Amino acid sequence: MTKVDLAYRALKKLYPKLTQDAKTSLREMVAAVGNARDKVVADFAWQAWSNDLMEDMVWEGCISTYEQLSPTKDTRTNRWYLQLPFKPLVLPKNMGIYQITPCNNTFEYYQVPSTFNSLFNGSASKELGGNTGYWLSGDRIYFTVKQTEETLLDVHSISSSEDIADDDYFPFPPNLELDIINMAVQEYVLTKDIPEDLSDNNLADS
C-alpha cells in the first residue's frame, strides 16, 4: 500500500464528497497521512519504551530499506561514515536505524554509543569481538572500524514519511491503519475546516 492508497481511504471518511478540488485534496491528505503515520509509530514506540516493552515491538511493518550505500572517509577526522539519504524517525534507542548489513551477507553491524571510541580507547572491548559498530550523528552514521569505498551496505530504517515517495510502498503496522486514517482525517478536517460525515456514507444530507 502507498501513501496515496491510504489517503484515498481517509478521504472516503469525509463529508461532503470532494469534486472540483480533488487533486488538491488528495495531495493535502497524503501529507496528513504521512504526519499521522510518523506520530502513531513514534507514540507507540515511546509508550513501549516507557513500559519496558521495546523487546516485544514488531518493527518489520515499519521498515524501509536503502540498498547498496557506500561509506565515505572524512579526511579531517579519518573516520568513515555513511551519509544518510533519508531522515530516520526519532525513536527510543535510536531505533530509527533498525539494522545495517553488508550487501549479500547475513551478519549485521552493532549500534554503539557515540562516546564509544573515547570510552573504550585502548581496551580490548573496542574490537567488539571482530565485529563492526556504528553510531548515529545527525544525518551521518559513523563506524568504529575502517571501511572502504567498495563496501556496500543495506540500511534498514524507520524513515520519516516525507522521505518516502507518494507512490512507493508505505511501511506501517497493519494493526495501526485505522489509527493512522483517523488521525489523518482529524488533521485534514482542521486544516480545511470541513465537517466529518458521521454516517460514513459519503452522501450529503438533504
Give the separation between CA 184 and CA 37, rounded to whole angstroms. 8
Which pTM does this prediction carry? 0.78
Mean confidence (pLDDT) of the chain: 82
Percentage helix, strand, coil for the chain under 3-state DSSP, each rounded to 5: 40, 20, 40
In which element (H, E) is residue 98 found? strand 97-102
Kindly report, residue by residue over 84-109, the tens digit of the pLDDT: 999 999 998 888 999 999 987 778 89
CA atoms within 13 A on the CB side of 69: 20
The pLDDT value given to residue 144: 86
